[in-house]
């Protein structure tokens, strides 16, 4: 048994008739793949009425995943959660990540949370939190193994997409021999690793590539603190069509690979007095410390935060002050 809570949670699920599955705010491959894998597995283990929801628009690049079209974008402030017996929330560590709303917390619905974020803070009674694991997809593979569910090619594809997305194609230090073993099993079940990598990292819209060019042009090197950063104003962001995935992608592809640095930061003013930040580290630097102090969270190598209520210049100043504090000045 991988997790002692697995069978208890399966019992809770089997008590439900109407189930809601969450796909978190600004979903990534792990969030989407995990939600759809749960959907497919629940279809195998019981006769449930299931809905899938997301608070934001989904990237069409992941429409190769089975039942992708069933995930509906809804307004969480107006959505009636009370009509569901159970709400399953994968790959989300706080209410903001779940809903995209700062003070969101619906009442009257039972929740199950599957997550791997080291900064998970929601604390639901029925949950499996494996902090530091490569991905929620890897966690779910372990759960499904505990449930003795026979996986198929569609489930395997959803899970491998999550693993590949959250490990940067197995580049990050959260990859273990178990991660690779599970990935091999998923490939043996029919998941197409090459197609997933191409869809995730090799299918970038031209407008987003142009935006990446702007990010590189504006990137700054903090020589005394050994990190790089870039801040994109709302005007620039709108000029390039508000590319939703560009911030985290550019943080992974550029901000974390500069020789001699500890980490990189990409900041984007998505709307007035609202700046989002993506952090990526190199080596052993724990970037989640920076994100957490700024009200965000994540992992040692990849984290995020949002700065609300400050104008663009003030937000950038605040982020850099915290980053310099943790980077520690070098001679």
Q: Which residues contact 205 (CB under 8 A, 6 or more apart)?
A: 243
**What percent of the chain has a predicted confidence (pLDDT) above 70?**
96
Mean pLDDT of 240-250: 74
pLDDT at position 195 is 97
pLDDT in tens, 275-304: 999 999 987 899 999 999 999 888 888 889
Is the pLDDT assigned to residue 247 strictly greater than 70?
Answer: no
Residue with tokens 């210049």: 313
- Reported as a pLDDT band with limits 50, 70 and 90, residue 109 is confident
Long-range CB pairs of 210-214, under 8 A, 24+ apart, other chains included: 210/240, 211/240, 211/241, 211/243, 211/246, 211/250, 212/246, 212/249, 212/250, 212/253, 212/254, 214/240
Terminal Cα-to-Cα distance of the chain (whole angstroms): 50
- The answer for 15, left when phi > 0, alpha when psi is -120 to 50, beta otherwise, is alpha
Among 119-128, 174-183, 191-200, whose mean pLDDT is lowest? 119-128
More confident call, 329 vs 119? 119
**Four-way CATH pick for 6-201: 2.120.10.80, 3.40.50.10140, 3.40.50.1220, 3.90.1640.10:** 3.90.1640.10
pLDDT in tens, 14-72: 999 999 999 999 899 999 999 999 999 999 999 999 999 999 999 888 999 999 999 99
Mean pLDDT of 192-196: 97
Domain extents for the chain? 6-201, 206-327
Q: In terms of Cα–Cα distance, which of 297, 315, 295, 308 is closest to 129? A: 297
pLDDT at position 331 is 36
Q: Phi and psi (nearest 5°) for 44?
A: -85, -30
Fold exhibited by the domain 206-327: Diaminopimelate Epimerase; Chain A, domain 1 (3.10.310)
pLDDT at position 40 is 98
Is the pLDDT assigned to residue 330 strictly greater than 50?
Answer: no
- Reported as a pLDDT band with limits 50, 70 and 90, residue 252 is low
Mean pLDDT of 122-132: 88
**What percent of the chain has a predicted confidence (pLDDT) above 90?**
72
More confident call, 256 vs 220? 220
pLDDT at position 207 is 82
Is the pLDDT assigned to residue 329 strictly greater than 70?
Answer: no
Mean pLDDT of 83-94: 95
Encoding tokens for residue 315?
A: 């937000």
Q: In terms of Cα–Cα distance, which of 325, 326, 285, 277 is closest to 305? A: 277
- Reported as a pLDDT band with limits 50, 70 and 90, residue 251 is low
């Amino acid at each position: 048994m991988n997790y002692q809570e697995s069978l208890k949670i399966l019992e809770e699920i089997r008590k439900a008739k109407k189930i809601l599955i969450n796909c978190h705010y600004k979903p990534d491959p792990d969030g989407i793949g995990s939600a759809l894998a749960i959907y497919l597995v629940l279809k195998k283990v019981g006769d449930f009425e299931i809905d899938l929801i997301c608070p934001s628009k989904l990237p069409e690049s992941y429409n190769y995943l089975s039942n992708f079209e069933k995930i509906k974008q809804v307004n969480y402030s107006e959505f009636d959660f009370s009509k569901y017996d159970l709400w399953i929330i994968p790959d989300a560590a706080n209410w903001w990540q779940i809903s995209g709303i700062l003070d969101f917390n619906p009442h009257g619905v039972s929740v199950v949370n599957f997550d791997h974020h080291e900064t998970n803070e929601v604390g639901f009674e029925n949950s499996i939190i494996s902090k530091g694991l490569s991905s929620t997809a890897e966690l779910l593979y372990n759960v499904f193994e505990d449930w003795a569910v026979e996986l198929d090619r569609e489930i395997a594809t959803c899970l491998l997409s999550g693993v590949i997305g959250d490990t940067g194609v197995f580049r990050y230090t959260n990859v273990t021999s178990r991660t690779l073993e599970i990935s091999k099993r998923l490939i043996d079940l029919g998941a197409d690793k090459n197609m997933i990598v191409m869809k995730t990292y090799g299918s970038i819209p031209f407008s987003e590539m142009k935006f990446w060019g702007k990010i590189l042009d504006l990137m700054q090197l903090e020589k005394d603190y050994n990190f790089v950063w870039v801040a994109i104003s709302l005007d620039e962001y709108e000029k390039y069509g508000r590319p939703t995935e560009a911030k985290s992608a550019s943080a992974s592809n550029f901000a974390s690979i500069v020789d001699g640095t500890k980490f990189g930061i990409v900041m984007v003013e998505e709307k007035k007095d609202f700046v989002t930040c993506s952090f990526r580290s190199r080596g052993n630097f724990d970037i989640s410390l920076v994100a957490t102090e700024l009200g965000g969270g994540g992992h040692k190598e990849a984290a995020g935060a949002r700065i609300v209520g400050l104008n663009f210049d003030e937000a950038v100043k605040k982020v850099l002050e915290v980053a310099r504090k943790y980077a520690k000045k070098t001679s």
